[in-house]
Structure 1
Amino acid sequence: MTDLDAKANLHRYLREARRALLGKLDGLSEYDVRRPLVPTGTNLLGLIKHVASMTAGYFGETFDRPFPEFIAALDEDAEPNVDMWATADESRDDVIGLWHRVWAHADATIDALPIDAPGSVRWWGHEPVTLHLILVHMLAELNRHAGHADIVRELADGHVGWRWSGDNLAEGDEAWWAAYREGLESTARKFV
């Protein structure tokens, strides 16, 4: 496999994970994409904003190709979790628009640089990196947050699956899933 093949493969999976995460917003109200459904406040629109913010940094500043817009989370004096939720002044369209602009910038960086291009991550203590390492890191980061989004989406409206409509889950109707879940609960209770 050549370096070009490796870069193309990583970029393809990055784009797939990007679509999967963004797709978790489909069909939900403005309220449902914002509401925190777990104690840490994780919410779908916040996950999109967070990944957009990190993407802007990793594929921008890291390779001396700064994203042209201000990203609050990348400011050294940023408030904790500023990128994990959308303010009342930020609409869904604003956050999704930022997402698209950031990814276009990231795609341009990926296309322009060789896989062994050097960079430096400020928030890692200026650790030297390569484009390859950042592609792998962001693929892991994006898929991790897509997993969070899977759970948050299921809590919001019961919708499950990587793509529409649950094409990577076992076939089963509501009764089948209820029985399956009860079987898991019954097994877990044996360890109380």
Structure 2
Amino acid sequence: MPPFPEPTAPADGRAEVFLRYLDYFREGVLAKVSGMAEDEQRRSGLPSGWTPLELLKHLRFVELRWIEWGFQGRDVGQPWGDWRDERWYVAPQEGLAELAAALRAQGAHTRAVVEGSDLATRGAPGPRWDGADPASLERVLFHLVQEYARHLGQLDIVAELAGGPVGE
């Protein structure tokens, strides 16, 4: 797992700071889910009903929706492929290894886009923006950081209740 991106650690700029936080949170999610028993990865201990594997898949699609479908304006086929019947969904044949590889690959794509773009660049017009003006890459990255931080905090509690890893 990458080290926590301390505010005092030198960085080449804001883009590198965003990438460090995203890498840290992404790997934190993967470590939490990987540290849980397989049956706990597919079980929900919450009234909302989401499972750790569903959360992992959701985060992959969050990056896909905001970076590829939104910022880049690409046709991604099924941007809501993490949803079925009004909730997050993981098929029975989808497992941790496959979902983790997809999340890491999405993270690598995000890194390449960020490293090749200026933070002030506006996203391509398209359906992701639901009629609004496209946001800048910096705003998209800020949203992704808060999404990961919030969900990792939720996963911390779920993992602890399931007897999985505790702490950061």
TM-score range, shorter chain: 0.7 to 0.9
Judging by fraction of residues, say which structure has more helix: 1
Q: CA deviation at 1:99?
A: 0.8
Task: Give structure 1 stretches of 5+ with no counterpart.
Answer: 163-192
2:57 to 49, 52, 63: 49
Amino acid at match of 1:153: A
* Aligned match of 2:7: none
* Aligned match of 2:152: 146
Q: CA deviation at 1:102?
A: 1.2
**Would the alpha carbon gap of residues 64 and 52 (structure 1) be closer, same or farther in structure 2, given more than 3 Å must change?**
same
Amino acid at match of 1:35: R
Q: CA deviation at 1:50?
A: 0.4
2:125 aligned with 1:117: no
RCO comparison, higher one (Cα < 8 Å, 6+): 2
Q: CA deviation at 1:122?
A: 3.1
* Aligned match of 1:178: none
**SS in structure 2 at match of 1:116:** coil
2:41 aligned with 1:33: yes
Cα distance in 2 between the residues matched to 1:121 and 1:20: 32
Amino acid at match of 1:125: D
**Would the alpha carbon gap of residues 97 and 158 (structure 1) be closer, same or farther in structure 2, given more than 3 Å must change?**
closer
Q: CA deviation at 1:79?
A: 3.9
Amino acid at match of 2:22: L
Q: Which structure: larger Rg?
A: 1
8 Å CA contact 1:73–1:79 kept in 2: the answer is no
Cα distance in 2 between the residues matched to 1:104 and 1:65: 18
2:110 to 103, 106, 109: 106
2:101 aligned with 1:73: no
What stretches of structure 1 move > 6 A for 4+ residues in a row? none
Cα distance in 2 between the residues matched to 1:97 and 1:158: 21
2:163 aligned with 1:160: no
Amino acid at match of 1:122: P
Q: CA deviation at 1:103?
A: 1.1
CA RMSD of aligned residues (A): 2.3
- The TM-score with structure 1 as length reference comes to 0.72
Q: Aligned residues, how many?
A: 155
